[in-house]
Amino acid sequence: MILATVALAGALLYTRDVMIPFVLAIFITTMVSPLVDFLVLRWRLPGWLAILVALLVVLAVLMLLSLALIATVQTIARTANEYSKEVADLSRTIFAQLKAHGIDVDQSQIVAEVQKLLPGAITSAAGKATTVLSHGLLIAIFVVFLLAGRNPRQAATGIYAEIEATIRQYITTKTTISAVTGLLVGLILWMLGLRMAALFGLLAFLLNFIPSIGSLIAVLLPIPIAVTQFHDTAHVVAVVALPGIVHLTIGNVIEPRLMGRGLELHPVTVLLSLAFWGLLWGVMGMVLAVPIVAVLKIVLSRLDTTRPLGELLAGQLPGTHRPPAA
């Protein structure tokens, strides 16, 4: 089993340029299949026309996401040089204070390195967010064939129906929660007067799809801008604390209530899955980690020989049983 797991991980790593679009296409197909069924069964449209309408909806959503990401990258690239100069000025102030206390630092070399590396680092990080867009055509092709292979008049039953319901519930709930989180974070940062507040709201929306880690990154991202823009500690603390309260409240109070016990994944399982799929597929692997492991748990729990593994993913050790619900 260990050797098979290592071999499978190697295969997933080698084929990630194809497997990432394929897995995304499966999730997209799960979300738009009710639309295709409605158009075929209620409006009596031909199957090819219903698939075309669903594909146009998918392409419209991908186009909106593309425009948002492109605007984000352009904004970051346009302001990278400006903020690198501000960081350099801030560094000079810090070095002057260190020198006043008898600590001599090679100021010119460090400032030059900051000015040289910061724009490239920012634009490189932003460019990685658009990697998924290069697979748009392949995703669309997979979606067309997956929808064409379905029979709208045949209702899903058994394990397939459970997988569809789980994926649909997770994606719908996560998208809604992420949108609310991004809107609140962007509004708070705008009220605080932070530059590019809308950009950080968009990043909060996107990063919220990465459980636990994404929220932390979204909270810390505005710190360099806040430090260079505001010169008092209170503003910087507010830029971090207020969005942090939003993430904590939504992530720990509201989201668990909306998600319910549909996924039934132990927090350690979630963290390990983030590490595993992030190692294999990068950022997109971390986004897809939770639904992939949730599907894997459903499959393992349905088979007698692998049921202990499914229970282990839910945090239930072999030989133990959960207490009955009150």
Contact residues for 205 (Cβ-Cβ < 8 A; gap 6+): 178, 179, 181, 182, 183
Please state which of the ranges 78-82, 107-111, 302-306, 313-317 shows the lowest mean pLDDT. Answer: 107-111
At 118-159, the pLDDT tens digits run 555 555 545 555 555 567 778 888 988 998 888 887 877 778
**How much is the pLDDT for 187?**
95
Mean pLDDT of 203-215: 87
Q: How many residues in the chain?
A: 326
Per DSSP, the three-state class of 303 is coil
In the chain, the N- to C-terminal Cα span, in Å, equals: 38
Identity of the residue numbered 22 = F
**How much is the pLDDT for 185?**
94
Distance CA 257, CA 143 (A): 31
* DSSP category for residue 44: -
**How much is the pLDDT for 77?**
64
CB atoms < 10 A from the CB of 209, how many?
18
Distance CA 82, CA 68 (A): 22
State how far the alpha carbon of 33 is from the alpha carbons of 63, 143, 172, 310, 319, in Å.
Answer: 20, 10, 14, 27, 39
At 84-93, the pLDDT tens digits run 566 566 666 6
Q: Any idea of the CA torsion for 179, 121, 290, 200, to the nearest 10 degrees?
A: -10
At 159-179, the pLDDT tens digits run 888 888 888 888 888 999 999
CB 22 within 8 A of CB 142: yes
**If you average pLDDT over every residue of the chain, what do you get?**
80
Query: Structure pTM?
Result: 0.77
Pairs from 158-164 (Cβ < 8 Å, separation ≥ 24)? 159/298, 159/299, 159/302, 162/298, 163/295, 163/298, 163/299, 164/30, 164/33
Structure tokens at 138: 């392949």
Distance CA 97, CA 57 (A): 57
Please state which of the ranges 25-39, 107-121, 309-323 shows the lowest mean pLDDT. Answer: 107-121
At 8-60, the pLDDT tens digits run 999 999 999 889 999 999 999 999 999 998 998 888 888 889 999 988 888 88
Mean pLDDT of 234-257: 89
Structure tokens at 144: 């067309």
